[in-house]
Amino acid sequence: MQYYQNFLVVLRFLGTNYHGWQIQKNALSIQEIFQNALFKVIKHKTDIKACSRTDSGVHANKFCVNFKTNILIKPKNLILAINKFLPGDVKIIDCMKVPENFHARYSCTKKEYIYKIYNHKILDPFMHNRSFHFWYPIDLNLINNICKIFLGYHDFSAFCSFDNREKNNMCRNINYLAAERDKNNENIIEFKIQADGFLYNMVRIIIGTLLKANYKKMNCFDVKNILESKNRALAGDTLPACGLYLNRIFYGELII
């Protein structure tokens, strides 16, 4: 009888050199290099289920995938074996066995993203491609008051980009959104957002709108009108991918 183990693997990566997670025909993706490394260890093809798509240049503190294999191996040994074949900017940081019906995407109940802004006239070179450089003063009190407008269940049509994907339900539930300065570096501002799901470019447009509200001194009423309008043209810019990090994945009580 064939024996299968379902493994949940947690990846950490810098997305600068990759065209997102999903395999591309003419560009290098994180899925491609992970898939190739995995094959060298387990010696057979297997379906890899990912928790999310990521765009080119987006990073991940924690990114979850699961796959099934017929080889018997301990999770800690699997980490070391696959990491030998991964580049320095992509590594497995955790691995565990999960139930047979676990799915990295469909078992997910909530995701958390962080968007990093380097808020100083001179960009720290070590933050290049790892943050969005915005040198104008940021009023965190104003920003955090406006953040409250986005909390709860809303139609976020005004805060997403439309591509060739079919338009489905545009409603999502945001349960946390706030901005704060890094305690170790006051030039870094982190926006943290948690929701049951995200639309295409939703995080980057919401943060872009908050920055627009900051320098145009928009108030809560103005942003609420944008949300209710469902009109993308009224919202702020889509900020660059370099500041975005997939930070945590929630699977019910299991928080990765």
Q: For the chain, how are helix, strand and coil distributed in percent, rounded to 5?
A: 25, 30, 40
Tokens encoding 224: 């609420």
Question: What are the backbone angles phi and psi of residue 157, rounded to the nearest 5°?
Answer: -60, -35
Distance CA 181, CA 21 (A): 29
Instruction: List residues bridging with 90 in a β-sheet.
Output: 13
Tokens 């309008």 belong to residue: 229
The enclosing H or E element of 153 equals: strand 152-155
Q: Who's near 77: CB < 8 A, 6+ residues apart?
A: none
Find the catalytic residue in 55, 89, 94, 222.
55
Does the active-site annotation cover 94? no
DSSP class of 131: S
Distance CA 85, CA 83 (A): 5
Instruction: State the pairing for strand pair 132-133/110-118.
Output: parallel
Catalytic positions, please?
Answer: 55
